[in-house]
Chain A
Amino acid sequence: MSIEVAAPRLDHLDWLESESIAILREVAAECASAALLFSGGKDSVVLLRLAQKAFRPARFPFPLLHIDTGHNFPEVIAFRDARAAELGERLLVRSVEDSIARGSVVLPSPEASRNAAQSVTLLEAIEELGLDACIGGARRDEEKARAKERIFSFRDAFGQWDPKAQRPELWNLYNARVHKGEHVRVFPISNWTELDVWQYIAREGLALPSLYYAHRREVVRRRGLLVPVTPLTPPGAGETAEIRSVRFRTVGDISCTCPVESEAADAEAVIAETLVTDITERGATRMDDQTSEASMERRKREGYF
């Protein structure tokens, strides 16, 4: 008779964590020059924790990179800098502002959303730094086009994604090989959902910018969304500002990120709200994604995260 091994069972967060750690280690082993995109947002906070789990006690084998639109919430930027310093890791910042100065980004109007312009700055940074891999925190549950993207996702010499010519990805045998000038985008938390992310934040006790939790804020209602009132996004004609208790579910560019009504003061409370929510993260919070059924796919092809 064989002895039954009472092996510990991996719960779903353990499973996801181990898969993500293995992916990060593959990047470190297979890619010559990588960077981990870190914005201070919750998905990239999770990525940082996973990188600690993958590489400590050593330093990360790649720098952190933030593409700064210049339209970020100041406290997110402060959080970003504090977190990088606390970890003792190198943080590189490249700004859309510089691309505008160089002339590579031309905005339709000064107050236009700089969300799409980030792609240009990112591709410029990839070229400047000679990166062959960029690690991002995108998840397949966020959006339809992402549901079909590989974990190691190939970008050609122009930084473009061709959804119809993706490399098949089998087992856990990833193909990170590129020619000079090409790169891969790597998404270690592809298989996580928004709920998994929050459950992990709660389990690991990860700090987040306070915008993620309920706070009172001046907003206006516009097309079913709550739009924060900021110097960049003043109330429109005929709109009245009101103070609501809100939290952000993503903290991107100020000009296109909206909060949701919430009383959730900590991660546990956010999980409770997420369990009953009826709206996806992007649907509730991103003005830019609603434009067309395929808008994310188009932006991604052009080099977006």
Chain B
Amino acid sequence: MNAPLDPGRLEDRGVLRFITAGSVDDGKSTLIGRLLVEAKGVLADQLAAVRRASERRGSGELDLSLLTDGLEAEREQGITIDVAYRYFSSPVRKFIVADAPGHEQYTRNMVTGASTADAAVVLVDATRVGVDGLLPQTRRHSAIAALLGIRHVVVAVNKMDLVGWERAVFERIAGLYDDLAHAVGLKDVRCVPVSALQGDNVTRLGSSSPWYAGPTLLALLEALPADRADAARPLRFPVQLVIRANGAAAEDYRGYAGQLWSGVLRAGQEVRILPSGERARVASIDTLDGALAQAVAGQSVTVRLDRDVDLSRGDWIVDDADEAKLGTALTAELCWLDRSPLDPRRKYLLRQGTRTSLASVLAVEDRLDVSTLSERREAAALNLNDIGRVRIAVQQPVLLDAYARNPATGAFILVDAATNQTAAAGMMRAT
């Protein structure tokens, strides 16, 4: 049993967000249930409710997958519709799991869950890998993980108990997945043989696979870098809000509040304001608990500058030497999430960083084939769950950061200006 996380300890590695992906029946719900139960993310009364529900449904065994079915409509139809978020902690880390259903609307759901994930756990059912290789869904899920810039993938080869814990089966699947990862562009891949049902190699090593020395799935997740907000990338500080307080004239306070989306910001640093291009020096980095010498990606702070500049919500603070470019034309990979299809005649609001700008989609260049997500076809429109390349014009300049280089700032959403629906997720391409 894991003792849960104690803050302030040296080994508190913060938060890792991951998404789980698998085809129906690969054992995704069972695996998440196992992680939650063994790490005490689930308590006795929830288990009792699951037991009652299992009995009502006539399934004799405790069905851990019921833990992750949230909504009434889902229980009635025996399906999952929407992404659910789950929480558990190990002694060194807090985990946030985005549990995205594998069938209905999988693109919309998986893109949503993947957008905030540092890592993906991809399930492969060891009994269902035939002569022709991995299931098509495994390819699709992996392609989406790659598209959304997930840098770390853990492949859980599940149901190893049903194939007699045969090492050759595991190694063959690991080899097939390596080829797939290479094809879709996933670089950091690790494979672990597990039985979600019996628990081997999930949070503790099982005795059934003496040929596998570890690490367990949990140990892998504990060790992965949480690098969606990355301190090693260039400084990107989108201003959310100007904070002012009036006191005696000398004490008038004017600070720029925001969260560092990437990079490091230091007191005394020379910075540049975008879009104005003005330069200034960081006078102080304030928090309620006092001023900081430096702030890192992920931190919410209030920045004061040494001089008056033209700076408000929507603008960026970047490093003085940064060659960040702004522009009003961009190309992007777009995932369409709305029931009403992309319509070039409609007005959309493009939200990047803290700026919202009117936008129109000038052209759809192509669309990914939905069955493989690898071939590109010519297309004129995008419908719900389609992914394709588009050209967009915006009224106000956006920061032209390629998503592949900086997912924090290369991301945007489109909101339908008439309905206010979130219509699309966009990832900027290099220009």
Contact = CB atoms under 8 A, between A and B. Distances in A.
Interface residues of B, number: 71
Contacts of A195: 4-5, 89
Given A12-B12, A29-B240, A177-B415, A18 B299 contact: yes
A147 B96 contact: no
Contact of A203 (B8, B87, B300): B8
Nearest to B48: A283
B31 interface: no
A265 interface: no
B131 interface: no
Nearest to B337: A168
A222 interface: no
A42 B351 CA distance: 34
Interface string A176-192: 01110000000000110
A277 interface: yes
Interface stretch (B137-145, B178-186, B206-214, B257-265): B257-265
A277 B287 contact: no
B46, B53, B300 — most chain A CB neighbours (10 Å): B300
B83 A148 contact: yes
A11 to B, nearest CB: 4
Contacts of B5: 12, 195
A191 B16 CA distance: 12
A167 interface: yes
A17 B14 CA distance: 12
Interface residues of A, number: 66
Nearest to B109: A168
A279 interface: yes
B14 A9 contact: yes
A7 B96 contact: no
A73 B294 CA distance: 44
Interface in B264-306: 264, 287-288, 294, 296, 298-300
Given A57-B245, A171-B115, A25 B12 contact: no
Interface string B318-337: 00000000000000000001
A9 B13 contact: yes
A9 B85 CA distance: 24
Interface stretch (A88-96, A137-145, A250-258): A137-145
A209 B64 CA distance: 37
Contact of B112 (A52, A169, A178, A190): A169
A11, A17, A56, A171 — most chain B CB neighbours (10 Å): A171
Contacts of A168: 108, 111-112, 337, 422, 425
Nearest to B416: A177
Given A25-B240, A29-B240, A54 B257 contact: yes
B108 A15 contact: no
Interface in A59-114: 59
Given A11-B14, A195-B4, A278 B44 contact: yes
B7 A11 contact: yes
A178 B231 contact: no
Nearest to B46: A280
Given A12-B15, A53-B287, A164-B73, A140 B82 contact: no
Contacts of A16: 15, 94
Interface string B395-431: 0000000000000100111010000111001000000
A11 B232 CA distance: 18
A46 interface: no
Interface in B68-88: 69-73, 75, 81-87
14 contacts: A5-B264, A7-B231, A10-B296, A14-B14, A15-B94, A17-B300, A19-B300, A148-B84, A170-B115, A170-B422, A173-B412, A190-B85, A196-B94, A203-B7
